[in-house]
A and B are shown apart, each in its own frame.
Chain A
Amino acid sequence: DTGVSQDPRHKITKRGQNVTFRCDPISEHNRLYWYRQTLGQGPEFLTYFQNEAQLEKSRLLSDRFSAERPKGSFSTLEIQRTEQGDSAMYLCASSLEYVGAGAPDTQYFGPGTRLTVL
């Protein structure tokens, strides 16, 4: 168990460019989450996957954002036509959820990708 990994750790881009981030969850985890954290704030939920299915999206996830989790393993988060307001830390988390278990399992977080849009 090597934990949740994210790549890249840092990304600097110019406004209007597209960027893509990758998250590799803990291998046996079936749930994968994306959060966004801006300076001085707590993380905010963006979206989550159960295996390869994207089950919920926050209203924060505008149509410029798209997330995928092909084959239920790693996930990518793409931002098209980046804006300065997209500058933030993008966090990925994973968990192992049993259907009908009730209490949620612990979400394990990766180190994040810090995006700076110039």
Chain B
Amino acid sequence: AQSVTQLGSHVSVSEGALVLLRCNYSSSVPPYLFWYVQYPNQGLQLLLKYTTGATLVKGINGFEAEFKKSETSFHLTKPSAHMSDAAEYFCAVSDYGNNRLAFGKGNQVVVIP
């Protein structure tokens, strides 16, 4: 079964600094990969997704992620953190014919002024 690993439950980043959240996946077939963000008391919102094609995927709010098959990774980055980026971020994987999303444990991002 497919799965994802997110290391470091809490990530602190200074305002204006690079945001880097790591995600490694395990899948026996070509994966579809997603990053979702969850703000307090709200549902999950899709940041970006990789299905096929270009391996560098741009999402909302200035985030992007790169699919690297050789490293089984899909790390999320943003060049300059903003206070509004404070939230919990989840990486997820699904594959063709399997509609369920398998989520990682999440990263709680704290932005330090």
Contacts and interface: CB of A to CB of B under 8 A. Distances in A.
Interface of A: 4, 31, 33, 35, 40-45, 48, 55-56, 58, 91, 93, 97, 102-104, 106-112
Interface in B84-112: 90, 92, 94, 96, 99-106
Given A103-B52, A104-B99, A43 B90 contact: yes
A42 B46 contact: no
Nearest to B42: A111
Contacts of A56: 99-100
B73 interface: no
Contacts of A102: 51, 96
A40 B46 CA distance: 19
B105 A103 contact: no
Contact of A45 (B43, B52, B90, B101): B101
Contacts of B9: 40
Interface residues of B, number: 24
Given A31-B99, A43-B103, A56-B99, 14 more contacts: A33-B101, A35-B101, A40-B9, A42-B105, A42-B106, A43-B90, A48-B99, A56-B100, A58-B100, A93-B44, A106-B49, A109-B36, A109-B43, A112-B43
Interface of B: 9, 32, 36, 41-46, 49, 51-52, 90, 92, 94, 96, 99-106
B33 to A, nearest CB: 11
A35 B94 CA distance: 14
30 contacts: A31-B99, A33-B100, A33-B101, A40-B9, A40-B105, A40-B106, A41-B105, A41-B106, A42-B92, A42-B104, A42-B106, A43-B103, A45-B100, A45-B101, A45-B102, A48-B99, A48-B100, A56-B99, A58-B100, A93-B44, A102-B51, A102-B96, A104-B32, A106-B49, A107-B46, A107-B101, A109-B45, A110-B43, A111-B41, A111-B42
Contacts of B101: 33, 35, 43, 45, 107
A104 B94 contact: yes
